[in-house]
Amino acid sequence: MEESSLPKAPRSDVARCVDTTPTTTPTPTNHTAPILRDHPTTPESDTPYLTETKIFIDEDEAMNTILLVYGTTEGHTATVADRMAEVLRAENHDVTMKSLAQEDVDAISDYDAVVIASSIHAGQPHATVKAFVQTHRDALNGRPTAYVQVSLSTADPRPEKQAEAQAYADQFLQEMKWTPTHIALFGGALPFTRYGFFKRRLMRALAKKPFGITDTARDYDFTDWDQVKQFAGSFAADVKTAHAPGLSLRDRSLRDR
């Protein structure tokens, strides 16, 4: 579905994204970083000293491999994944995108980073996403990862619905024992023209109060596409930094202070 062809929801603040990285977004190409040098002392003291060191990352060499997998029921999360892939590729990353319902993923060890996107139906992420996270949990926890949740609750302005969307994500991640470095909650869509009779009636009843929707002859798109692009851009930059040559984890934590 091309979102530009769809009528927009009456609200604009329909998506939230959360970067769980406890730092500010780094500049991707030129980092000024305080590095704890190997020299153990300065002439004046016996303690290690900090000095400013510039680290240049060559854009051509900064390409990383990113696996982007998704679970979708009506196709909207596939569009979100597509849009994220465009941004990641524009940032010079090598992106492999797979629908988990259609393609198998044997191992993720070849990838520098992984993005997992899922829609919510009946309060749950897609079954294929659950199975994927369960299978690859240990490898996921050892690299930069993003969890992208697409739901109607995030598009709903009522505080209890916002809390509900957050609870879906919290509960899922806790259950899976997966701690992504990045999390985004985006509003989803109501593609009435794709629904069968019963689903259309059900979704119309659910959407009437929060969104004032009565016309089911058209589709509605509640995703804030600027936020999707922004989130993908931020993840792209952080993956480059995480895999920058010569930056150890210790260097990074020092730089981020």
Ligand X SMILES: Cc1cc2nc3c(=O)[nH]c(=O)nc-3n(C[C@H](O)[C@H](O)[C@H](O)COP(=O)(O)O)c2cc1C
Give min distance, CB of 33 to ligand X, in A.
40
Residue 201 binds ligand X (CB under 6 A): no
Residues 202-221 that bind ligand X (CB under 6 A): 203
Distances in Å between the Cα of 183 and the Cα atoms of 179, 196, 230, 235 are: 9, 32, 13, 10
Q: Which residue is nearest to ligand X (CB)?
A: 188
Give min distance, CB of 150 to ligand X, in A.
5
- CB under 6 A: which stretch of 40-48, 129-137, 183-191, 244-252 binds ligand X? 183-191
The residue from 53, 55, 63, 74 that contacts ligand X (CB under 6 A) is 74
The three state secondary structure string of 103-169 is CCCCCCCCCCEEEEEEEEECCEECHHHHHHHHHHHHHHHCCCEEEEEEECHHHCCCHHHHHHHHHHH
Give min distance, CB of 66 to ligand X, in A.
20
Q: Pick from 177, 184, 124: which is nearest to 149 by CA?
A: 184
Q: Using CB under 6 A as the criterion, what x/- string covers residues 144-173 for binding ligand X?
A: ------xxxx--------------------
Give min distance, CB of 213 to ligand X, in A.
12
Residue 128 binds ligand X (CB under 6 A): no
The DSSP H or E segment spanning 205 is helix 197-211
The residue from 69, 113, 120, 133 that contacts ligand X (CB under 6 A) is 120
CA dist., res. 38 & res. 36, Å (int): 7
DSSP code, position 8: B
Pairing of strands 113-121, 124-125: antiparallel
Residue 75 binds ligand X (CB under 6 A): yes
Pairing of strands 145-151, 182-187: parallel
Residue 184 binds ligand X (CB under 6 A): no
Contact 120, 167 (CB under 8 A): no
CA dist., res. 143 & res. 65, Å (int): 12
Contact 200, 216 (CB under 8 A): yes
CA dist., res. 65 & res. 51, Å (int): 32
- CB under 6 A: which stretch of 83-91, 99-107, 172-180, 188-196 binds ligand X? 188-196
Of the two residues 164 and 256, which places its CB atom closer to ligand X in the complex? Answer: 164
Q: How many residues bind to ligand X according to rule CB under 6 A? A: 20
Distances in Å between the Cα of 241 and the Cα atoms of 58, 79, 117, 182 are: 11, 27, 22, 14
Give min distance, CB of 203 to ligand X, in A.
5
Give min distance, CB of 144 to ligand X, in A.
23
Residue 116 binds ligand X (CB under 6 A): no
Give min distance, CB of 86 to ligand X, in A.
17
The residue from 188, 231, 241, 242 that contacts ligand X (CB under 6 A) is 188
Query: Which positions lie near ligand X, rule CB under 6 A?
Result: 72-77, 119-123, 150-153, 188-190, 199, 203
